[in-house]
Amino acid sequence: MTENPSIVKRGIRRELGLFVGLLFVGFVLMPVAIFWVGQSLFGAYGGQGYSDFFGTISEKIRSGDGVAWFLVLSPYLVWQCLRLTALAWRYFGRTT
């Protein structure tokens, strides 16, 4: 049973678009949200504002820091966990 190549290409394109979009969210929007929440909960950032905060995060990403990469990839990872949960829910709902 082989799938139609156009269906496979469409699925790959959709997954790649999803990954790039959620990577953008993790790299651009998450640091903004973290900085804003940190400012309101803990007070002023110890550096020179948002640009220094973003520079520190992007430096850690470039150096391969695992926590920084987890931050960037977390929207995609959460989405994949939700998909797996829905798949398991459908599977076990059918078998019981």
* pLDDT for 45: 81
At residue 30, does pLDDT exceed 70? yes
Mean pLDDT of 47-55: 88
pLDDT confidence tier of residue 49, bands split at 50, 70 and 90: confident
- Contacts for 31 with CB less than 8 Å, ≥ 6 apart: 53, 54, 57, 71
Q: Which tokens go with 67?
A: 């926590």
DSSP assignment of 51-70 equals: HHHHHHHHHHHHHT-HHHHH
CB 23 within 8 A of CB 34: no
- Is the pLDDT reported for residue 24 higher than 90? yes
